[in-house]
Structure 1
Amino acid sequence: MELRQLKYFLAVAEELHFGNAARRMNISQPPLSQQVKQLEEELGARLFERTSRSVALTPEGVFFKEEAKAILERLERAGDTVRAMARGEEGSLSIGFVVIINQSLLPEVILDYKQRFPKVHLELKEMTTNYQLKSVRNGTLDIGFIRYHNQDLSGLCKKTYIKENYVLALSDRHPLAGRTEISLGELTDEPLVMFKRDNLPALYDEIVRAFTRAGMRPRMVQETNRRLTAIALVAAGMGVSPVPESTRRLGREGVTYLPIVEPLPEIEVAAVWADKGGVSVLDSFVAVMESHRRRG
């Protein structure tokens, strides 16, 4: 059974006239009649009652007309969907992000993208940087927003999304809370709240070296990858914590943020993805992201 046979049959079933159906399909009548006859032979049933003056559907033809119409409509919808997917207008997209991205432009990018491409289903996943990189490489994540610090990104595309500096978070009740800036050397034996080393060991070690060079002996009291947890511990007087500058936007009471005199590594959040080639929902998302990066 061929697709053209279904189209020819449906044209005759709707016109109930072989000549009119042939003109509608832009072919001559003999080939159309032959294709309909072959279809009937394949089905083992007559679809039309033919006389010299009229054409009528048999009961089998009435049933087959509805089925053929549904098949052709479904094929048309499938074709429209595939073409939309190829244009990046329809499909699904999984997006990973670290907590830091919540305080950036990502929510605006998501909103803009959903308005432009309402038929694309977005799945957002809060994930650590290492887990995102593994997921992007094995294809279970389309794009990730990671903390980048010299990781191996071979085979992946990368766009720097935001850059920001570290500031020191300390309790409002801390004796140094009234300062306009702070030197790491002034912290001496202060307990530290840090992110977990196994997530970004190179960055962790670089920050610890900066504290050591300033004459401070780092004393970790808590490690957490969640900034809300880190600043809650700071507010409770458990220690001080170097945090991204955007942490100020969390609006946690009882916490002061001071610029740090000594240079610490710059925090870079980058979007990473595997280049799969061609137009897709991923390409359309990257284009929207790029437009916001230029405005930002």
Structure 2
Amino acid sequence: MDLRQLRYFLAIAEEGGISPAARRLHMAQPPLSQQLRQLEEELGVRLAERGNRAIRLTDAGEILKNRAEQILAMADSARREIQDYKAGLTGTLVLGAVSSSGLPDAHINAFHERYPDVLFELHEGNTFQILDYLKGGRIELGIVRTPFNSTHLDCRYAEPEPMMAAFAGEDPFPGREQVSVADLRGRRLILYRRFEQLVRETCGEAGFAPLVCCTSDDARTAINWARAGYGIGIVPHSALARESGLSGKPIAHGRLRTQMVLIRLKGRYLSTAARRFFELAEPTFRHL
């Protein structure tokens, strides 16, 4: 089993068939089918069930697909590391970031000004997806939100920021610079699922169940629903800061706060670009 076979197998798995995979790989179907058979013979298991027009991965095929993604990501990372070593501080910095990170930010801009020849490759997802990308070697550094398990991670923390009550149109809280959790009673709320449980708990502590009209996996979606007038979006301050057509007021509650965190996996080699990016994190991110 070699990297070429893994790339062939992953293309078949992702495309759902030999024909579309062959087109993607710019090769004929028979040799691709032969590669799949050879891989199955070597491993001693059937990896895919063939149909007339499509294939379906077996349980063994699903296991290999997951491992192949990790192996190929690490191989690509190793190739970039060697290229960086040869070329100096150029190449590509591979980052993962939550959608509410607000990139590019001041740190990205300062890094780009100092190292203009470094390119960026960005993978987006929620905090737990970014952690998986980091552990699997798909990315070198991640930008995520608290809370999360920081075991085996080096972390640099941004300043804590409040959760905001975001709204369109007329101010539902006139004359106030900030709102309390009690002020959310009876309001139609739009929640970013990352913080749904926390919002429900703090509302419960205030003696009421929140009226949730929408939950989503992306802070930008929560913001869009609030902008459309469906209710009040509960989102991090930095996610709201760059949005037009919306106003917001901080929610005065010690638990309804979050932090952006720059993370790397302890003990893993970093390319020169990633290492400089992590080292130059201050003042945006600080080691606590």
Provide the TM-score with structure 1 as the length reference.
0.60
Partner SS state of residue 165, structure 1: strand
Identity of aligned residues (%): 21
Q: 1:120 to 1:85 in 2, by over 3 A?
A: farther
| RMSD between aligned residues | 2.9
Q: 1:110 to 1:216 in 2, by over 3 A?
A: same
Q: What is the letter of the counterpart of residue 232 of structure 2?
A: V
CA contact (8 A) 1:195 1:223 kept: yes
Which stretches in structure 1 are left out of the alignment for 5+ residues?
Answer: 1-80
Per the alignment, residue 96 of structure 2 pairs with 96
Residue matched to 1:241: 233
Q: Which amino acid aligns with 1:158?
A: C
Question: How far apart are residue 240 of structure 1 and its match?
Answer: 1.4
Structure 2 CA distance for aligned equivalents of residues 82 and 237 of structure 1: 51
Aligned-partner Cα distance in 2 for 1:227–1:278: 30
Any residues of structure 2 matched to 1:21-170 within 5 Å, and which?
85=85, 89-102=89-102, 106-149=104-147, 151-170=148-167
Q: Which residue identity does 1:123 align to in structure 2? A: E
Which of the residues 203, 209, 215 maps onto 1:211? 203
Shift of 1:165: 0.9
**Which residue identity lines up with residue 141 of structure 2 in the other structure?**
I
Provide structure 2 residue ranges, at least 5 long, that are not aligned to the other structure.
Answer: 1-80
- 8 Å CA contact 2:96, 2:124 repeated in 1: yes
Per the TM alignment, residue 129 of structure 1 is displaced from its structure 2 partner at its CA by: 0.8
> What residue in structure 2 maps to residue 264 of structure 1?
255
Match in the other structure for 2:58: none
CA distance in 2, matches of 1:119, 1:128: 29
Structure-2 change in CA distance of 1:87 and 1:293 (3 Å): farther
How do 1:218-233 and structure 2 match up within 5 A?
218-233=210-225
SS at match of 2:203: helix
- Look up the equivalent residue of 2:217 and give its one-letter code: N
Letter in 1 for 2:101: I
1:188 aligns with 2:179: no
- Residue matched to 2:265: 274
- Match for 1:97: what amino acid? A
**2:252 alignment partner, SS class:** coil
Cα distance, 1:250 vs. partner? 2.3
| Residue number in structure 1 paired with 2:22 | none
Per-residue deviation, 1:84: 5.7
Asked if the contact 1:95–1:141 (Cα under 8 Å) also holds between the matched residues in 2, the reply is yes
> Structure 2 vs 1, CA of residues 184 and 264 (structure 1 numbering), >3 Å: closer, same or farther?
same
Cα distance, 1:142 vs structure 2: 0.6
Letter in 2 for 1:181: Q
User: Do the aligned partners of 1:170 and 1:235 also contact (CA within 8 Å) in 2?
Assistant: yes
Aligned length: 205
Deviations 1:164-203 (A, max 9, x none): 111212333354345333222233222210012xxx4xx4
Q: When the two structures are superposed, what TM-score results if normalisation uses the length of structure 2?
A: 0.61
Residues 112/257 of structure 1: CA separation in 2 closer, same or farther (3 Å cut):
closer
| Conservation of the 8 A alpha-carbon contact between 1:185 and 1:211 | yes
| Aligned residue type for 1:194 | L
Q: How far apart, CA to CA, are the structure 2 residues paired with 1:192 and 1:279?
A: 43
Measured in 1, the distance between the counterparts of 2:168 and 2:92 equals 43
Aligned residue identity for 1:95:
L
Give the residue type in structure 1 aligned to 2:162: N
Tell me, in whole angstroms, the C-alpha distance in 1 between the residues paired with 2:128 and 2:83: 35
C-alpha distance in 2, partners of 1:163/1:195? 18
Deviation at 1:207, TM superposition (A): 2.1
Write the distance in 2 (CA, Å) between the matches of 1:293 and 1:88: 25
